[in-house]
Amino acid sequence: MKLALVGDIGGTNARFALWRNETLESIRVLATADFASPEQAVSHYLAGLGLAPGSLGSVCLAVAGPVGGEHFRFTNNHWRLSRAAFCRTLQVERLLLVNDFTAMALGMTRLREHERVLVRPGVAESDSPVVVIGPGTGLGVGTLLPLGDGCWKALPGEGGHVDLPIGSLREAAIWQHLHGQLGHVSAENVLSGNGLLLLYRTLCALDGHSERLATPAEVSAAALAGDPVAVEVLELFCCWLGRVAGNNVLTLGARGGVYIVGGVVPRFAAFFQASGFVRSFASKGCMSGYFEGIPVWLVTAEYPGLEGAGVALQQANFRRMGGA
pLDDT per residue over 89-115, tens digit each? 999 999 999 988 899 999 999 999 999
Instruction: Report the percent of the chain where pLDDT is more than 90.
Output: 83
Q: Is 133 annotated as a binding residue?
A: no
The confidence band for 231, taking pLDDT boundaries of 50, 70 and 90, is: very high
Query: Does residue 224 share a domain with residue 146?
Result: yes
Question: Has residue 105 been placed in a domain?
Answer: no
Q: Is 251 annotated as a binding residue?
A: no
Query: Does residue 308 share a domain with residue 296?
Result: no
Give 323 or 44, the one with higher predicted confidence: 44
Query: Does residue 41 share a domain with residue 18?
Result: yes
What's the rounded mean pLDDT across residues 186-205?
97
Query: Does residue 117 share a domain with residue 44?
Result: no
Q: Is 137 annotated as a binding residue?
A: no
Question: Has residue 241 been placed in a domain?
Answer: yes
Provide the domain count of the chain.
Answer: 2
Residue 77 is part of a domain; what is its CATH number?
3.30.420.40
pLDDT in tens, 7-45: 999 878 899 999 999 899 999 999 999 999 999 999 999
Q: What pTM does this model have?
A: 0.89
- Structural domain harbouring 59: 3-100+304-320
Question: Has residue 106 been placed in a domain?
Answer: no
Q: In this predicted structure, what is the pLDDT of residue 100?
A: 86
Query: Does residue 269 share a domain with residue 147?
Result: yes
Q: In this predicted structure, what is the pLDDT of residue 111?
A: 94
Mean pLDDT of the chain: 93
Instruction: Out of 23-27, 44-48, 156-160, 220-224, pick the least confident.
Output: 156-160
What's the rounded mean pLDDT across residues 215-243?
97
Query: Does residue 159 share a domain with residue 50?
Result: no
The confidence band for 130, taking pLDDT boundaries of 50, 70 and 90, is: very high
Query: Does residue 294 share a domain with residue 315?
Result: no
> Which of 62-76, 130-144, 147-161 is modeled with the greatest confidence?
130-144
Query: Does residue 158 share a domain with residue 295?
Result: yes
The confidence band for 1, taking pLDDT boundaries of 50, 70 and 90, is: low
Q: Is 68 annotated as a binding residue?
A: no
User: Buried b / exposed e across 253-284, counting CB within 10 Å, b at 16+?
Assistant: ebbbbbbbbbebbeebeebbbebbbbebbbbb
Question: Has residue 295 been placed in a domain?
Answer: yes
What's the rounded mean pLDDT across residues 181-207?
97
Q: Is 174 annotated as a binding residue?
A: no
Give a three-class secondary structure readout of the chain: CCEEEEEEECCCEEEEEEEECCEEEEEEEEEHHHCCCHHHHHHHHHHHCCCCCCCEEEEEEEECCCCCCCEEECCCCCCEEEHHHHHHHHCCCEEEEEEHHHHHHHHHHHCCHHHEEEEECCCCCCCCCEEEEEECCCEEEEEEEEEECCEEEEECCCHHHCECCCCCHHHHHHHHHHHHHHCCCEHHHHCCHHHHHHHHHHHHHHHCCCCCCCCHHHHHHHHHCCCHHHHHHHHHHHHHHHHHHHHHHHHHCCCCCEEECCCCHHHHHHHHHHCCHHHHHHCCHHHHHHHCCCCEEEECCCCHHHHHHHHHHHHHHHHHCCCC
What's the rounded mean pLDDT across residues 183-210?
97
Query: Does residue 147 share a domain with residue 127?
Result: yes
Q: In this predicted structure, what is the pLDDT of residue 65?
A: 77
Question: Has residue 58 been placed in a domain?
Answer: yes
Query: Does residue 312 share a domain with residue 293?
Result: no
The confidence band for 320, taking pLDDT boundaries of 50, 70 and 90, is: low
Question: Has residue 61 been placed in a domain?
Answer: yes
Residue 202 is part of a domain; what is its CATH number?
3.40.367.20
Question: Has residue 47 been placed in a domain?
Answer: yes
Query: Does residue 235 share a domain with residue 95?
Result: no
Question: Has residue 288 been placed in a domain?
Answer: yes
Query: Does residue 230 share a domain with residue 88?
Result: no
pLDDT in tens, 248-273: 999 999 999 999 998 899 999 999 99
